[in-house]
Amino acid sequence: MKESDKKAQMKLSFGMIFSIILIIIFVALAFYVIYKFVGIQKNAEIGIFVDNLQGEVDKMWKSSKGSKELEHALPSKITDVCFTDTSEIYFKPAGSGGNFDYIEIDHINDANIENEICFKNIDGKVKIVLEKNYGEVLVNVARP
């Protein structure tokens, strides 16, 4: 075998190895980007939930009386949505809300909440009833 044949074989194997390494890097990068986009989607779902909840509470607060059951999708990692006696909501388990650890919701009647009231996330959906009776100033949250 000539010396030049050995060099050609060596160059071909180095090229193949380099190509395989590049493919592995690109596949790993693609999985990382997909993972990050899924995380952004879950944060967006939580943000939409909070905005919709505040919007519905505001509508009920402006009305003289009413009752409405809200059903909203949330990521499955959130097991509960809890309202505290300080007009805040938070998600269980701790940290499952991502950037939304504690959110203050305006116009909620926290006087009828003892410590907290929680709503279960069942099959990715949370149901919350908003109620306001004639003569009341704030909106009550209740279980369906």
Digit-coded pLDDT (tens) for 30-43? 999 998 888 788 88
Structural tokens at position 59: 């509508």
Number of domains in the chain: 1
At 46, give phi and psi (nearest 5°): -65, -45
| Lowest mean pLDDT across 15-24, 43-52, 55-64, 83-92 | 83-92
Q: Which domain holds residue 57?
A: 3-142
In this model, does residue 97 exceed pLDDT 80?
no
Asked if 87 and 105 count as a contact pair (C-beta separation under 8 A), the reply is yes
- DSSP strands (E only) in the chain: 66-73, 80-84, 88-92, 102-104, 116-122, 125-132, 140-142
Cis amide leading into 75 (omega within 30): no
The CA radius of gyration of the chain, in Å to the nearest whole number, is 27
Please tell me the pTM assigned to this model.
Answer: 0.74
pLDDT in tens, 40-68: 888 888 889 889 999 999 999 999 999 99
